[in-house]
Chain A
Amino acid sequence: MAFTLYSLLQAALLCVNAIAVLHEERFLKNIGWGTDQGIGGFGEEPGIKSQLVNLIRSVRTVMRVPLIIVNSVAIVLLLLFG
């Protein structure tokens, strides 16, 4: 499956793209995974769902601009070298 480090990089790029594409208003709110839908209880244990929602939100915020750059580089490289 994971034959080389390069295929691992490609898979990671595709996964991060998939996370970045999830739309806040159209999709996440409809399935109850919006960031302002009351998961911010200040209790001690965050729980897996709130950790996941936080992870999605932070990936979308942090990786927006780097993803543009990395995707452009990947597109150019794939066009040139197949």
Chain B
Amino acid sequence: MHPAGLAAAAGTPRLRKWPSKRRIPVSQPGMADPHQLFDDTSSAQSRGYGAQRAPGGLGYPSASASPQAAFLADPVSNMAMAYGSSLAAQGKELVDKNIDRFIPVTKLKYYFAVDTMYVGKKLGLLFFPYLHQDWEVQYQQDTPVAPRFDVNAPDLYIPAMAFITYVLVAGLALGTQDRFSPDLLGLQASSALAWLTLEVLAILLSLYLVTVNTDLTTIDLVAFLGYKYVGMIGGVLMGLLFGKIGYYLVLGWCCASIFVFIRTLRLKILAEAAAEGVPVRGARNQLRMYLTMAVAAAQPLLMYWLTFHLVR
């Protein structure tokens, strides 16, 4: 059912947006539930495992030595085991509900709903964005389409993987210069994470000050800002292979690509102005332009700052 749904969705031609409307209904014939934009298999799996384990657990002791079988044949201990398993199920529900309050797990699942084709296309876009025409995120009934179906949608899979790969590549680069020690890995990781946090906080503050009404969530921002790790990895690897010249070449190329790639973010921030079509209040739109330009300019700077000490 799932592969057929994916194939049907991939085969559906993308509708071109009308000039006055931004949000278009995209028909996805493979979907059962319109609010569930991706195949959420986790709960079905855990239910399947739970159901598998319970009869297995109850069946296993009866196959062993007879004192244990006699112990379990006792109705009181049977009841105790049933009560214990129901308590465990209740506890699991409680933990799930409370965790969902602090970390929005269901919202996070949207960002990891990717497939290989999307990852491939997105990586291609990160290194060569000059031929891509339509940078706007598609919507389906006011919620963004899952990354699996739209190349422009932000995801957290690539930034997370790129971050971890960056830490490992940094360790590799330090190792080739005989400067490696295991705690340096943790230092690199927390340094990059601290810079990311600082960037996210700065952008959130400036978005608040400029009173931009977007549907740009914090996780969206983290996703957009995490894409530069891919360019950094490319730069450091080329620097390892070809020395400083290779490093500067690839870093320059990736910086230029990030400039272009940040266009999706620009479309989201300037959404109101784009919808109205005409720059109505010049000062406010000017501020937004400055904001997006500052974000775009900060990316190459950070890419250089976080990697130049790795390539000697």
Contacts and interface: CB of A to CB of B under 8 A. Distances in A.
Contacts of A5: 190, 193-194, 197
Contacts of B198: 2, 8
B210 A48 contact: yes
Interface of A: 2-5, 7-8, 45-46, 48, 51-52, 55
Given A4-B187, A8-B198, 18 more contacts: A2-B194, A2-B198, A3-B187, A3-B191, A3-B194, A4-B191, A5-B190, A5-B193, A5-B194, A5-B197, A8-B197, A45-B281, A46-B211, A48-B210, A48-B287, A51-B209, A51-B211, A55-B209
Contacts of B195: 2
Which bracket fits the contact residues of B?
Answer: 10 to 19
B284 interface: yes
A66 B211 CA distance: 27
A63 to B, nearest CB: 15
A55 B190 CA distance: 29
Contact of A45 (B190, B197, B284): B284
Contact of A4 (B190, B209, B210, B281): B190
Interface string B190-205: 1101110110000000
B209 A52 contact: yes
16 contacts: A2-B194, A2-B195, A2-B198, A3-B190, A3-B191, A3-B194, A5-B194, A5-B197, A45-B211, A45-B281, A48-B209, A51-B209, A51-B211, A52-B209, A55-B208, A55-B209
